[in-house]
Amino acid sequence: MSASSEATVVLPADLHARPAGALVRAAAGFTSTVDILFDGRRVSARSVLGVMGLNARAGASVRVSAMGDDADAAVRAVVALLSTYE
């Protein structure tokens, strides 16, 4: 059976190339499928272009969702990265 987890984070910085790349590297370390939801759109956290294409700016709230055996850890890791990236 697989688990799912979700969390919301307010971005301290825009999701431009550097933080998007860091997010993709973090998500790639988990077996779970990790998605980022913003403004009615859902993209894979393993796609730099998808994450950047959200155009999420500093102060925006994004939702991190994961499904799989390590979903809780994946969401915690991605949220921690997004919460602290400047």
The yes-or-no answer on residue 16 being catalytic is yes
Query: Under a CB-based contact definition with an 8 Å cutoff, are residues 44 and 68 in contact?
Result: no
Distance CA 5, CA 19 (A): 22
The one-letter amino acid at 36: I
End-to-end CA distance of the chain: 36
Catalytic residue among 10, 16, 55, 57: 16
Catalytic positions are: 16
